[in-house]
Amino acid sequence: MNLLQEMQEIRVRFAPSPTGYLHIGSARTALFNWLYARHLNGKLILRIEDTDLERSKKEFLEEILDSLKWLGLNWDGEPILQSARLDIYRKSAKQLLDKGLAYEAQGEIRDKEGNIIKNSKRITQKAIIFKVPQKIITINDLVHGKIEIDSSTIKDQVMIKSDGFPTYNFACVIDDTDMGITHVIRGDDHISNTPKQLLFYEAFGFKAPEFGHVPLILGKDRSRMSKRHGATSIREYKQAGYLPEALVNFISLLGWAPGNDREIMSVTDIIKEFDIKNVKSVNAVFDTDKLNWMNSEYIKALDVNTLTPLIKEFLDKEDLEGLDELNLKKIVKLFTIRIKTLGEFKQEAGYFLKDKLEYDAGQLLKLAQRPAIKENLIKFRDTLSGLNEFTILNTEEALRNLAKELNISAGELIHPSRFILTGKTVGPGIFDVFELLGKDRVLKRFDRALEKI
């Protein structure tokens, strides 16, 4: 960084269009801008590009703001809405008209099939169109390096449409200038817009910001990330029980790396190390397995008092019936290392939550096929029923003593017991299960199963 840059306040912006939920790609753009601003003590401006009246929805805007807040990506000042700035765009376009750099034309509005909609009420004025000068345009991209474009490939650019609304490229330049934006960090899909925007900067005599175009995010099959690859919006990840800290960590590594192979990083460390210049110019691959691993690491790192209320948000009232806070915490503790998302808890630990257990009776019979198994299980049930205390230690002692007495391995009692009590063949330590289910439920489940065998 040179002295001038050091003295200049860094101002970046995130400019979503409220035409859909915040998806992973946009969230990454927001995150990189936020990291850049926070790293350099600059400002992040939130600009809402809502000039597409038909597609922009209040619901989407609210959700975008909620998702940003949930991820912890705060912005400076109030969000700026383009729809409130129409006069400014019009006045600016007139300046280029006055300079002879633009012309007016009777605009047309076409429907989706390309037919001109005649007498449309939306044609309120002539369109203002920028005359594209012939020249070679150079972008010194912070990620891709030098890119040259011949403007003869660019047709004249509409600035203000016949309906009075600005085009994206035009409004973007006016806004980025008014908002004092120093660095534009956005997706590669905007590279083709940048030369058009640079021509506007030149026509107005404005200083252009620096540009950094961030490569696309691909699915594991190397095609562009889409619904086919699973959840694409931040909202879906929140609903599935990913932690915002894990998601921020994971998304930060989509195209960026700290340079020392570190993966699990606190947001403070990411801010400290982030530099747009270290963003790779090759496309990033979204690896759901890696995200799941990372999320499980973040879950493991939480203490039970923090994790329990988070998990509770994924449970219904009836799941919690008859379960006191202490027992719930014990169950949560048992599953901390076994769940990849908060949402998985209900499915994995369901047998602790419901009084009645559903399982596949066929599988139970298969487990019980060995000779004398029923007899042994009846004996075990009676041993359990005779226990005064129903703890991890007592139940383990009872089981091992009985196995010795019957001259069988402990596993011959443990495996069917696990299925009878949980409906699953794997899970946390069986003696934890005994203690946490409690004597009543354990005996009931044994009785029910023994009737079937």
Report the alpha-carbon distance of residue 31 to residue 253 in Å, rounded. Answer: 11
- Least separation in angstroms between residue 43's CB and ligand GLU is 16
Q: Verify binding: residue 308, ligand GLU, rule CB under 6 A.
A: no
Report the residue from 16, 212, 244, 255 that binds ligand GLU according to the rule CB under 6 A.
Answer: 16
**What SS3 class is residue 254?**
coil
**b/e sequence 68-88, b meaning 16+ C-beta within 10 Å:** beebebebeeeebbbeebeee
Judged by CB under 6 A, the residue of 10, 11, 17, 348 near ligand GLU is 17
> Total residues contacting ligand GLU (rule CB under 6 A)?
7
Q: Closer CB to ligand GLU, residue 172 or residue 368?
A: 172
C-beta atoms surrounding 94 within 10 Å: 15
Nearer to ligand GLU, 190 or 340 (CB): 190
The alpha carbon torsion through 386, 388, 392, 395 (nearest 10 deg) reads -10
Q: Is 42 helix (H, G, I), strand (E, B) or coil?
A: coil
Between helices 430-452 and 325-335, what is the axis angle to 10°? 100
Near ligand GLU by CB under 6 A: residue from 85, 186, 213, 445: 186
Burial group, residue 109, by CB count within 10 angstroms (0-12, 13-18, 19+):
middle
Question: Which among 152, 102, 150 is positioned nearest to 126, based on CA atoms?
Answer: 102
Q: Which residues are catalytic?
A: 227
Strand order through the sheet with 43-48: 80-81, 43-48, 11-14, 183-187, 210-214
Is there binding between residue 27 and ligand GLU (CB under 6 A)? no
- Residue closer to ligand GLU by CB (options 251, 342) is 251
SS3 label, residue 174:
helix
* Only segment of 14-22, 105-113, 219-227, 298-306 that touches ligand GLU (CB under 6 A): 14-22
3-state secondary structure of 418: helix
Gap between the Cα atoms of 51 and 353, Å rounded = 49
**At closest approach, how far in Å is the CB of 17 from ligand GLU?**
4
Residue with Cβ nearer ligand GLU (82 or 252)? 82
Residues 154-173, mask of contacts with ligand GLU (x by CB under 6 A): ------------------x-
Q: Does 28 bind ligand GLU (CB under 6 A)?
A: no
Interaction residues for ligand GLU, span 271-300 (CB under 6 A) = none
- Cβ-Cβ contacts under 8 Å for 174 (sequence gap 6 or more): 85, 88, 89, 92, 166
Cα 246 to Cα 243: distance, rounded to the nearest angstrom: 5
The nearest distance, CB 172 to ligand GLU, in angstroms, is 5
Tell me how far, at minimum, the Cβ of 14 lies from ligand GLU, in Å.
Answer: 7
Length of the chain counted residue by residue: 453
**190 part of the interface to ligand GLU, by CB under 6 A:** yes
Minimum CB–partner distance for residue 91 and ligand GLU (Å): 21
Residues 84-103 that bind ligand GLU (CB under 6 A): none
* φ, ψ dihedrals at 395, nearest 5°: -70, -35
By beta-carbon proximity to ligand GLU, the closer residue of 161 and 186 is 186
Q: Toward ligand GLU, which CB reaches closer, 190 or 381?
A: 190
* Shortest separation between residue 186's beta carbon and ligand GLU, angstroms: 4
Part of the chain binding ligand GLU (CB under 6 A), chosen from 11-19, 116-124, 362-370, 383-391: 11-19
Contacts of 443 (CB under 8 A, 6+ apart): 381, 384, 385
Residue 151 in contact with residue 136, Cβ under 8 Å? yes
Interaction between residue 15 and ligand GLU (CB under 6 A): yes
Stretch that binds ligand GLU, among 13-21, 147-155, 270-278, 296-304 (CB under 6 A): 13-21
| Contact residue for ligand GLU among 28, 35, 49, 238 (CB under 6 A) | 49
The helix or strand, by DSSP H or E, that contains position 314, with its residue range, turns out to be none
Nearer to ligand GLU, 170 or 446 (CB): 170
Shortest reach from residue 185's CB to ligand GLU, in Å: 8
82 or 417: whose CB is closer to ligand GLU?
Answer: 82
- Binding residues vs ligand GLU (CB under 6 A): 15-17, 49, 172, 186, 190
